[in-house]
Structure 1
Amino acid sequence: MQYAPVLNREQLIDFATMQYFGNVDSKNMDAVLDCFHDEALFCVQTAFTRHSGKAEIRRMFEDFFGAYETIVHRDFTCTVDEAHGRIAASFVAELHDAAGEVTLLNNTNFWRLRPAGDGAKFQEVYVYMSGANVLV
């Protein structure tokens, strides 16, 4: 099903890179979850995992936030389908754990947004991860 587009190209990029990943990087759980519809689907395609609904997505992020002292998403290359409210981004995920170990991942996310109020929220997220799944 296609949804009526409500965000333009710049707004889609801002939503994915700043509102979503900016809040993931600062571990702001409420703001991260506010990016998702209640029944959103979050899939890590390369690990065959799926999280359905905000409760499962919250639990996934609680574990992720607890596993790393510092989370940085950077070097975004975005491709936008403004007419259908979709965006893809390739980026580097840099994760630092409490022991000082650094994990670098080259990932690509595909997002499908659905109208919500006067904006949009993620309905579906598909993640392709270059290494071991850190979003379990």
Structure 2
Amino acid sequence: MQYEPGLSRAALQDLAINKYFASVDRKDLEATLDCFHDEALLCTQTSFTRHAGKAAIRRMFVDFFESYNSIIHRDFTCTIDDLNGRIAANFVAELKDAEGNTTLLHNTNFWRVRDDKFQEVYIYMSGANVLV
């Protein structure tokens, strides 16, 4: 399904980088979830993991935030399709656990945006899925 475009190119990039990833990096659960529609879908394609609806996405982020002391997303390269409300981003995810171990992932996310929130998120992860 195609959604009517609702955000400019700059606003789409702001949603992905400055709202979503910045909220995840702060472990701000409510701000992170505010980026999603209630019936949103988040899929990690490389592990066939699917979270449908905000309640399932909330549970996934609670577990993710509890698993790492530090979460940093950096080195973004974005491609924006503002005419269709689509975002693609390549980036590095740097995760540090309580024992000081670092996990580096080179990921790509694809978003479908409806109005001003994520309707669908598809994640391609370079390593083991940390979003279970």
TM-score, normalized by length of structure 2?
0.99
**Identical-pair percentage:** 68
AA in 1 matched with 2:88:
A
Paired residue for 1:122? 118
1:19-72: CA deviation from partner (whole Å, max 9, x where unpaired): 000000000000000000000000000000000000000000000000000000
Unmatched 5+ stretches in structure 2 = none
Paired residue for 2:15? 15
SS class of match (2:83): helix
AA in 2 matched with 1:50:
R
Paired residue for 2:129? 133
Paired residue for 2:43? 43
TM-score, normalized by length of structure 1?
0.96
Unmatched 5+ stretches in structure 1 = none
1:1-136 matches, cutoff 5 A: 1-115=1-115, 120-136=116-132
AA in 2 matched with 1:129:
M
1:105-133: CA deviation from partner (whole Å, max 9, x where unpaired): 00000000001xxxx10000000000000
AA in 1 matched with 2:56:
E
- The 2-side partners of 1:57 and 1:95 are apart by 19
AA in 1 matched with 2:37:
H
AA in 2 matched with 1:131:
G
* Deviation of the 1:4 alpha carbon: 1.1
SS class of match (2:100): coil
- The 1-side partners of 2:73 and 2:7 are apart by 22
